[in-house]
Each structure stands twice: as structure tokens, then as C-alpha cells.
């Protein structure tokens, strides 16, 4: 197992490189050009597929471009941005992300619970760990079909509820606009809890064992061990998962797209953006403005997280 407190702080590790003169003074020209020979392809790809799209997107967002014309012709200022917050078909997609944000909190709580449980010795420890983690490796389309089948009318879920004597709870899991987002968010919890769980477990297991022994000697109970040893030790990974959860919730695409295609009120921000910008609607300008808004929200959340939980190394030993 790698030491997580170490692997989780890549930034200082990279930037804090000591400037050491190379052993043999190479020719000045050689030293200036060589690194760029190694960097030219990666930088070209980075520019072409990350920075150029981001810049273009900002430019398109101020136009009514449809994607056919060679270049955008009509500039409309902030009209597209105004449309995002007034159009009846766009405003509700913000609300849909609330279901997924809620689901991601649930997912982190479940992951933390099982990570704590399995950090203590347990029968079949590796088996349970493997079972809980496996869903996060499965192909998204396969997961979509597995849950389409599960949620079928008179399908598996209704069958299980019947066996448990809860048959009255059966409903149109994917057909009812009041229920569909809960069903899809639950699918997302099933899919991603394992990944959170393994990250938390890795962080807990990198806490030195002596701390627990010392706590045992001092008569600390399990709750106190969690509160004063485990919680501070995994603060950083939790805050990181938190931001991944929020940006992930805003960028939900696969599960709802595969399962419902955004029907019955399950339309998400990204499905809407993709169908507007790349589908039959050809509203590249409006779709770009939506993508810019999403990007700004994600960057704000990241900045907020950096402010609230500074990137410090938690040193327990």
C-alpha cells in the first residue's frame, strides 16, 4: 500500500524541486533547447485540446453561431447568458443536479462508514472490500442496462419489495418525473461509493498503527478513535472527494443519458448542453454559454475548497 499522505500532495512535491546545477555544465544552447524538445508534443496537445477549446467556447458564447457557418457572424453580447437563467427548458436542469449533490453526500457517508469498519480486522476483509469496490470498475453503459433492468415495471426491485412485504412502494421508477431523479441518483451512488470507499480506506490505513495502540492504552473507545485519530488523518482526502463530488454532480452525463436520455424530467446540465450544441438544434452559442457557466461554477467550488481546507500536510506522528 502506498503512503497516502505522501501521494496526495503532488503539487508541493513538484514545485519544491531544489534548483541543482547539473553535474556537467552542458552547452548553453543545448540546455535551453533540450527540455523543449521533450515538451513540444505534450504542450501542443494541451493547447489544442484544452486551452483552445476553452478560449473558443468563451468566444462562441457571445454569438449566435450554429456550427455550420464558417465563422460566427452575429454578436449578441450577454444574451446567451441571460437565456440560461430565463429559458424554461434550461432552468430546471440546475435543480436536477441537486439530486446528484445529495446523492454524493450519501455516497461519501456510506463510503466513510465502511472504510472505518474495514480498517479494523474483519473476517473476509478482502472479499468485502472487493465486492464494495467492484462497481466503480464497470463500464457505464453496462451499469445503465443493469439498472434499466432492475427498475423495470414488475422487475427485480418490485420483486424484492414484494418479498419484503413492501409491495405498496412499487412505482414507475423511471417513468414518473417525481421519482426518476431519485432512481438515477441511487444508481450513481451504487456506481461510485466503492471508489470513495477505497480512497478513504487507503488514507485510514496509512495512519501509523502505534496511534491506535496508544489510544487503546489510554482507554479510548472506537468512537473516540474515529473522532481524534481517523477523522483528522483523512481530512484532506475527504475535502478532495467533496469537490470531486460537487463538480461530478454538475457534470452528470452517462447514467441519465444511457438510461432515460434525459426524458421525464431527468435532463441534466451536460445532456442539455450536448443536445443543444451538437444535436439537431445547432445552438452552439447558447450551449457554449452554458458550458462557460458550468466551468465557472466548478472553478469557484475548487477555489472555495482550497480556501476552506488549505493544502497542508496532516502530520500525526
Partner 1 sequence: MTSRILLTFLKYLSLVVASVITLLPLGVVLIASLKSKNEFSNSGPFDLPVNLFNAENFVTAFVKGNMVQGLINTSFILVISLAGTIIIGTMTAYAIDRFNFRAKKLVLALFLIATLVPGVTTQVATFQIVNNLGLFNTLAAPIVLFLGTDIVSIYIFVQFMSSIPKSLDEAAMLDGANRWTIYWRVILPLLKPAIATVVIIRGIAIYNEFYIPFLYMPSQKLGTISTSLFRFKGPFGAQWEVIAAGTILVIIPTLILFLFLQKYIYNGFISGATK
By CB under 8 A, what part of segment 160-219 binds partner 1?
A: 160, 190, 194-195, 198-199, 202
Rounded to a whole number of angstroms, the minimum distance from the CB of residue 142 to partner 1 is 5
Residue 2 makes contact with partner 1 by CB under 8 A: yes
Distance CA 241, CA 247 (A): 10
- Residue 313 gets which letter from DSSP? P
**Quick one: which segment of 78-86, 88-96, 132-140, 174-182 binds partner 1 (CB under 8 A)?**
132-140
Cα 160 from chain centroid (whole Å) = 30
Number of residues counted as binding partner 1 (CB under 8 A): 102
Cα 317 from chain centroid (whole Å) = 31
Residue 123 makes contact with partner 1 by CB under 8 A: yes
By CB under 8 A, what part of segment 16-35 binds partner 1?
A: 17, 19-20, 22-24, 30-32, 34-35
Residue 117 makes contact with partner 1 by CB under 8 A: yes
Rounded to a whole number of angstroms, the minimum distance from the CB of residue 61 to partner 1 is 9
Cell triple for 270 = 451536460
Q: Which of 115, 150, 207, 267 binds partner 1 (CB under 8 A)?
A: 150
Q: From residue 65 to residue 94, what is the string marking binding to partner 1 with x (rule CB under 8 A)?
A: --x---------------------------
Q: Which of 102, 135, 175, 265 binds partner 1 (CB under 8 A)?
A: 135
Cell triple for 25 = 555544465
Q: Which of 62, 100, 114, 173 binds partner 1 (CB under 8 A)?
A: 114
Q: What are the DSSP calls for 59-103, one per residue?
A: HHTTB---SSSSS---B-TTHHHHHHTT-TTTHHHHHHHHHHHHH
Residue 278 makes contact with partner 1 by CB under 8 A: yes
Residue holding cell 454578436?
Answer: 75
Identify the CA nearest to 286 among candidates 297, 274, 295, 298: 274
Distance CA 135, CA 197 (A): 12
CB atoms within 10 A of CB 158: 19
Residue 253 makes contact with partner 1 by CB under 8 A: yes
Length of the chain: 317
Amino acid at each position: 500500500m502506498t503512503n497516502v499522505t505522501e501521494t496526495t500532495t503532488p503539487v508541493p512535491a513538484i514545485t519544491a524541486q531544489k534548483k541543482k546545477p547539473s553535474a556537467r555544465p552542458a552547452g548553453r544552447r543545448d540546455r535551453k533547447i533540450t527540455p523543449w524538445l521533450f515538451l513540444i508534443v505534450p504542450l501542443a496537445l494541451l493547447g489544442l485540446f484544452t486551452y483552445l477549446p476553452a478560449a473558443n467556447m468563451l468566444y462562441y458564447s457571445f454569438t449566435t453561431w450554429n456550427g455550420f457557418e464558417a465563422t460566427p457572424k452575429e454578436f449578441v453580447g450577454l444574451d446567451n447568458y441571460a437565456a440560461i437563467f430565463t429559458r424554461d427548458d434550461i432552468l430546471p436542469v440546475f435543480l436536477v443536479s441537486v439530486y446528484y449533490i445529495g446523492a454524493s453526500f450519501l455516497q461519501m457517508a456510506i463510503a466513510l462508514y465502511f472504510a472505518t469498519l474495514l480498517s479494523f480486522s474483519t473476517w473476509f476483509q478482502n472479499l468485502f472490500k472487493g465486492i464494495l469496490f467492484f462497481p466503480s470498475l464497470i463500464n457505464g453503459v453496462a451499469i445503465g442496462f443493469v439498472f434499466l433492468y432492475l427498475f423495470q415495471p414488475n422487475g427485480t426491485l418490485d420483486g424484492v419489495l414484494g418479498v419484503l412485504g413492501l409491495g405498496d412502494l412499487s412505482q414507475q421508477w423511471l417513468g414518473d418525473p417525481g421519482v426518476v431523479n431519485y432512481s438515477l441518483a441511487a444508481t450513481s451512488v451504487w456506481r461510485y461509493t466503492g471508489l470513495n470507499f477505497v480512497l478513504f480506506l487507503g488514507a485510514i490505513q496509512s495512519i501509523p498503527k502505534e496511534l491506535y495502540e496508544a489510544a487503546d492504552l489510554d482507554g479510548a473507545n472506537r468512537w473516540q478513535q474515529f473522532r481524534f485519530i481517523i477523522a483528522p488523518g483523512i481530512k484532506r482526502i475527504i475535502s478532495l472527494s467533496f469537490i470531486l463530488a460537487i463538480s461530478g454532480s454538475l457534470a452528470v452525463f452517462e447514467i441519465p443519458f444511457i438510461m432515460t436520455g434525459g426524458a421525464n424530467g431527468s435532463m441534466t446540465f451536460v445532456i442539455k448542453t450536448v443536445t443543444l450544441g451538437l444535436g439537431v438544434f445547432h445552438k452552439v452559442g447558447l450551449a457554449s454559454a452554458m458550458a462557460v457557466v458550468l466551468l465557472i461554477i466548478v472553478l469557484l467550488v475548487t477555489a472555495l475548497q482550497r480556501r476552506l481546507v488549505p493544502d497542508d500536510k496532516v502530520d500525526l506522528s
